[in-house]
């Protein structure tokens, strides 16, 4: 028969496992409080540095981001039209320096 101090008490292994589990849960709780991520976002897959996969705070896909950018541009254009600011689209702007540089490059090619 093995010699046991107190047969009714908890074993050393069980006691250490219990304390380690308590430490682990305490660390997890403190980490969640530091990062301040809502429980809803955590349920959707959010972690520190990662956005949730769904819901209003989810990261936009590239396609949706482009569409949203277009919509924002149109809204800005409507706002400018309402204020009376009109952008002249039929006027072509040319830089005199760029024209001089292109002609000089063309002359160099003809010489060689």
* Domain co-membership, 79 together with 51: no
| Per-residue model confidence (pLDDT) at position 34 | 74
58 neighbors 52 (Cβ within 8 angstroms): yes
Q: Which of 51, 26, 28 has the alpha carbon at shortest distance from 40?
A: 51
Owning domain of residue 67: 61-86
- pLDDT values of the chain reduced to their tens digit, one per residue, 112 residues: 456 677 888 888 999 999 999 999 999 888 767 767 888 888 888 887 777 887 777 888 889 889 999 999 999 999 999 988 766 677 677 665 556 566 666 666 666 5
* Domain co-membership, 33 together with 17: yes
Domain count, the chain: 2
54 neighbors 44 (Cβ within 8 angstroms): yes
* Domain co-membership, 39 together with 66: no
| Per-residue model confidence (pLDDT) at position 85 | 72
């Amino acid at each position: 028969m093995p010699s046991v101090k107190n047969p009714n008490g908890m074993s050393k292994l069980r006691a250490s496992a219990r304390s380690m589990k308590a430490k682990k849960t305490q660390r997890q709780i403190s980490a969640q409080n530091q990062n301040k991520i809502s429980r809803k976002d955590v349920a959707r897959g959010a972690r520190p540095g990662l956005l949730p996969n769904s819901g209003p705070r989810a990261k936009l896909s590239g396609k949706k981001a482009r569409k949203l950018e277009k919509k924002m541009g149109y809204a800005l254009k409507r706002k400018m039209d309402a204020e009376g600011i009109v952008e002249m689209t039929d006027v072509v702007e040319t830089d005199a320096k760029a024209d001089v540089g292109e002609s000089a490059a063309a002359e160099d090619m003809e010489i060689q």
